[in-house]
Amino acid sequence: MSITLKLAWKSLLNRKTTALLTILTVAISVILLMGVERIRTQAKSSFANTISGTDLIVGGRSGQVNLLLYSVFRIGNATNNIDWKSFEEFSNHRAVKWAIPISLGDSHRGFRVMGTNHSYFEHYQYGQKQHLSLSKGEEFDNLFEAVIGSEVAKKLGYDIGTEIVIAHGISDVGFSRHENTPFKVVGILAPTGTPVDKTVHVSLEAIEAIHVGWESGANLGNNPSKEQLLEMDFHPKQITAMMIGLKSKIQTFALQRQINTYKQEPLSAILQVLPCMSYGA
């Protein structure tokens, strides 16, 4: 061993505590860096598998991550809703091929309830542009019919014909349930490995119907019977978010700018990208 190496080795032995701490610090830093990168990659992969084929996601003015979380992953709540007239205007825009309306806010035994229409079953895609499919039954067609995700059916033991009661808000407690308007399960979606599996799907009109008498956010006691509601004509007034597919990708940024500067109400349009995970991708 050369004199230089001997001196270096003796110096290291004299400072072994400091050297060990330095090695330990570097090792922890590398592990943390690899862990963060793994989480980033998995989150991005999870998002990519959850939704595909959608060009823009639109909601009330809020942060991009928050909009993604509640519209795609059913986590959290929207700060503002979208007026139905705004949805109609952009769904009929010359650049738009299809648009899916989404209405959130209710739940059933810990699972989120989502109001939508048949565009959801026709155009929503996940994974490698896979379409939703039913393992049993059919899409909802009448006011008080529901299509449930595979996880809902499995965990709660539901099947075609099961009657369920939707609760107002996220907490499914007695005083918040829409007891007078039970829904019948008419369809069960095939497993997707996405939040769709944990969602109860009903029509937008049904969302309007069950909230008659709940206009203040609480039950005012003026609740029409299910039979009375079936005789009424309901139309959506507001939605939580919408997903848009365009005729041409070239028009994406132009429409996004138009939505973000929309003067009728404050809206946010984001691309189908995880903003917090896009750097370094």
pLDDT at 213 over 90: no
Check residue 280 and give its pLDDT.
Answer: 40
Percent with pLDDT over 70 in the chain = 85
Check residue 77 and give its pLDDT.
Answer: 87
Percent with pLDDT over 90 in the chain = 56
Q: pLDDT band for 174, please (50, 70, 90 cuts).
A: low
Check residue 202 and give its pLDDT.
Answer: 97
Encoded tokens for 160: 């075609």
Kindly state the average pLDDT of the residues 261-265. 95
pLDDT at 42 over 70: no
44-101: pLDDT as tens digits = 556 667 888 899 999 999 888 889 889 998 888 888 999 999 999 999 999 999 999 9
Check residue 41 and give its pLDDT.
Answer: 60
Return the higher-pLDDT residue of 4 and 40: 4
Check residue 207 and give its pLDDT.
Answer: 94
User: Average per-residue pLDDT in the chain?
Assistant: 87
Check residue 184 and give its pLDDT.
Answer: 97
pLDDT at 269 over 60: yes
Biggest alpha carbon–alpha carbon distance for the chain:
98
Q: pLDDT band for 224, please (50, 70, 90 cuts).
A: confident
Kindly state the average pLDDT of the residues 104-133. 94
The whole-model pTM stands at 0.81
Check residue 26 and give its pLDDT.
Answer: 85
C-alpha distances (whole Å) from 259 to each of 22, 61, 68, 220, 242 are 52, 10, 16, 36, 12
Kindly state the average pLDDT of the residues 26-42. 76
Q: pLDDT band for 1, please (50, 70, 90 cuts).
A: low
Cβ-based neighbours of 48, under 8 Å, separated by 6 or more: none
